[in-house]
């Protein structure tokens, strides 16, 4: 008959030890998820802060030079920036480069050149004229914004309707929040 050798020192984990490990894993996962939520919340606030800074820079430029940045074709800032607008009183998409170059040349925005900056969700920031049916005038638009983020920004800082108010992103009233629909979130200048 074969003799089985049992080692009294060899033992498995107790239920209490397994429970403690599971609690620790749960706490770590909860902390990671909360951290991700906080990072996303900070990015949402950054979008609105960036928009407000751009709007303020535009207002300062208009006060100083009596013209919209990007549309400016006469000031020394426009000449020094090397990119001028057409001076027609509107800010068309083809004046996007002039818009950024003139704000930067005036010392109102960080950076150099005429390239559009990017926002905290990775898309570019551009200027557009009349981007939607109810959005008349000049707007600064945060391109390719996730639908849930566009909805949050609009609810926190405007009226929550995608097709009206100072922040617009669609000709439709509501946002599609499906994880794949992106919006061009536009702030009135």
- Check whether 47 has a pLDDT greater than 90: yes
With 80 as the cut, is the pLDDT of residue 102 above it? Answer: yes
Cα dihedral across residues 19, 20, 25, 30: positive or negative: positive
User: Which one is predicted more confidently, 188 or 91?
Assistant: 188
Q: Is the pLDDT of residue 12 over 90?
A: no
Strand partners, 183: 145
Question: Would you place residue 182 in the very low, low, confident or very high pLDDT band (cuts 50, 70, 90)?
Answer: very high
Instruction: Please give the backbone phi and psi of residue 34, each rounded to the nearest 5 degrees, phi first.
Output: -65, -40
Across 135-146, average pLDDT:
95
Between 163 and 32, residue with greater pLDDT: 163
Q: How far apart are CA 31 and CA 79, in angstroms?
A: 52
pLDDT, residue 36, reads: 76
pLDDT of residue 33: 72
Model pLDDT for residues 59-79, shown as the tens digit of each residue:
999 999 999 999 999 888 888
pTM of the predicted structure, to 2 decimals = 0.82
For the cut 90, the answer to whether the pLDDT of residue 104 exceeds it is: yes
User: Is it the case that residue 145 has pLDDT exceeding 60?
Assistant: yes
Which single residue is written with the structure tokens 């549309």? 71
């Amino acid at each position: 008959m074969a003799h089985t050798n049992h080692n009294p020192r060899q033992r498995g984990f107790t239920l209490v030890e397994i429970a403690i490990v599971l609690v620790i894993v749960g706490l770590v996962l909860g902390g990671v998820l909360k951290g991700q939520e906080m990072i996303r919340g900070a990015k949402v606030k950054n979008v609105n802060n960036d928009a407000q800074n751009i709007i303020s820079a535009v207002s300062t430029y208009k006060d100083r030079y009596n013209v919209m940045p990007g549309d400016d074709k006469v000031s020394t800032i426009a000449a020094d920036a090397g990119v001028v607008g057409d001076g027609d009183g509107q800010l068309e998409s083809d004046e996007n480069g002039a818009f950024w170059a003139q704000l930067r040349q005036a010392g109102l925005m960080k950076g150099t050149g005429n390239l559009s900056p990017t926002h905290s969700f990775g898309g570019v920031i551009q200027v557009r004229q009349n981007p939607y049916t109810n959005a008349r005038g000049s707007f600064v638009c945060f391109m390719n914004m996730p639908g849930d983020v566009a909805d949050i920004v609009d609810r926190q800082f405007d009226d929550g309707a995608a097709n009206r108010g100072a922040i617009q992103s669609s000709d439709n009233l509501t946002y599609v929040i499906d994880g794949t629909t992106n919006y061009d979130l536009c702030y009135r200048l």
